[in-house]
A and B are shown apart, each in its own frame.
Chain A
Amino acid sequence: MEGSVKPKAVPPASPVVAWRWWLMVLLTCAGIGVAGYLSYTHLFELPVICGESQECDLVAQSVYAKMFGIPVAVFGLLAYVALLILLIARRRIGENLEAYVTLAVFGIALFGVLFSLYLTYLELFVILAVCVWCVASALIMTALFVLSIWEVKSVNP
């Protein structure tokens, strides 16, 4: 390894396994894509591309698509952006705070999963329409949550 020749700009922090970190970053970026697209269509009042089904618009135009005047998709976008910032920060922040950042990632992912669960419940039992974008976001968030449990385990001695 050339590690001794040229120090790496971003040394992987100790308990973080590189592939898991990369997977989480990748999932977070996918989440930003999905939530970003839904926020974009909501803010500019565009129809949502949904394949054969027209259920995305049913969901996106329902009264449940907004919470306290803010589109739910924007909440999701904020959560994914926060996760990405924390994930990147964790590699730079030094060992003292690393564990807490890991815990924060876990907390946000847990929040995201519970919230997605609520939204999926609304889709299935109240709005009676399922939007694939929303399901995609829920799955991404669930995967992030599972990975973050793993991470927390590794900083909980």
Chain B
Amino acid sequence: MSSKGSSPHQMRRGPVARKRGVTTAQIILVVGAVVVAVALLIVLNSTRLHRATEAALAYPTGVTQTGNPYKGSPDASLKMEVYSDFLCGYCADLANVLEAISADYIETGKLQVIFRNFAFLTPESVQAAQASLCALDQGPARFWQYHDLLYASRGGGMAAYSTVRLKGYAQELGLDVEAFSRCLDSRAKAAQVQADLDAGRQAGVDGTPTWFLNGQKRVGAISESDLRNLLDSLLPK
């Protein structure tokens, strides 16, 4: 309907003096301002994401002589070796607890956490384990970021670890996706994942998460307060 006004409402209104309208210039101004605002928001957001993924982690990371990634100082008096499957819910719980105590134990150099793949649940577990090692190829800090993102995405269910998604996570973190894809598609890490699984079985692991705290074997998740107590009891007085 046009603004000329032939609706009964307007007729009833009687002789309205001047109707205020907007000029074309004002419309163009609004469109311009909005476009600039959205563009600015997108640029700010993508640089923020980029910086977030490049930011150094708050703890040292590295790779053990057996090729397994660790976080926390290698000189820490407490060493925790965790066998995990990326599809396992209790493993995700344990990873979250470790994240929660990170500031007090890992970042302060009291605890070193060593990650070992124990991919035994489903083919997707194996796929995710291989992907995590492909991320490790791009640096141990990258591995831990990828590790955290995998567990965070686990809620997406089985489909969360399809090849396409695994590459998507790599892209999300700003990894070199081409190298990552080559590594994943060629199954370059298949042997290592299998070797880790064998090593775990040899060490007596038959479920996840299984962890060895200063050599002592424990199975399952643990609450944050229990883990804090346990670690405190083992720390040199």
A residues touching B (Cβ–Cβ < 8 Å)?
Answer: 1, 3, 11-12, 14-15, 17, 47, 53-55, 57-58, 61-64, 67-68, 95-100, 102-103, 106-107, 110-111, 114-115, 118, 126-129, 152, 154-157
Q: Which residue of A lies closest to B49 (CB)?
A: A63
Interface set, chain B 156-182, CB cutoff 8 A to A: 156-160, 164-165, 167-168, 171-172
B interface residues, Cβ below 8 angstroms from A: 1-3, 5, 7-10, 12-13, 16, 19-24, 26-27, 30-31, 33-35, 37-38, 41-42, 45, 48-49, 52, 149, 152-153, 155-160, 164-165, 167-168, 171-172
What are the residues of chain B within 8 A of A157 when measuring CB–CB?
3, 19, 21
B153 A58 Cβ-Cβ under 8 A:
yes
Contact of A102 among B13, B22, B52, B164 (CB under 8 A): B22
Given A1-B8, A14-B19, A47-B155, decide whether A63 and B3 contact each other with a Cβ distance below 8 A. Answer: no
> A156 to chain B: which residues have CB within 8 Å?
21-24, 27
In the complex, the 3 A-B pairs of residues with the closest C-beta atoms, listed nearest first: A54-B157, A58-B156, A128-B168
Find out whether the CB atom of A64 lies under 8 angstroms from the CB atom of B49: yes
Name the residue on B nearest A128 (C-beta): B168
Query: Could you tell me if B164 and A128 are in contact, using CB atoms closer than 8 angstroms?
Result: yes
Q: Check A118–B42 contact: CB distance below 8 A.
A: yes
Can you list 30 A-B pairs with a CB-CB distance of less than 8 A? A3-B12, A11-B9, A14-B3, A17-B7, A54-B157, A54-B159, A54-B160, A58-B159, A58-B160, A61-B155, A63-B52, A63-B149, A64-B49, A96-B20, A99-B22, A102-B22, A103-B26, A106-B27, A106-B30, A107-B31, A107-B34, A114-B38, A126-B171, A127-B168, A128-B167, A129-B156, A129-B165, A154-B1, A155-B22, A157-B3
CB distance from B121 to the nearest CB of A (A): 17
What is the minimal beta-carbon distance from B172 to any residue of chain A, in angstroms? 6
Chain A residue, CB-CB nearest to B37? A111
Q: List, in ascending order, chain A residues with CB within 8 A of B7's CB.
A: 17
Min distance, Cβ A131 to any Cβ of chain B, angstroms:
11
Other than the given A14-B16, A58-B160, A97-B20, 15 more pairs (CB < 8 A) read: A47-B155, A54-B158, A57-B157, A58-B156, A62-B172, A68-B48, A95-B20, A98-B20, A99-B21, A106-B30, A115-B41, A127-B168, A127-B172, A157-B3, A157-B19
Bound CA span A111–B164, Å: 31
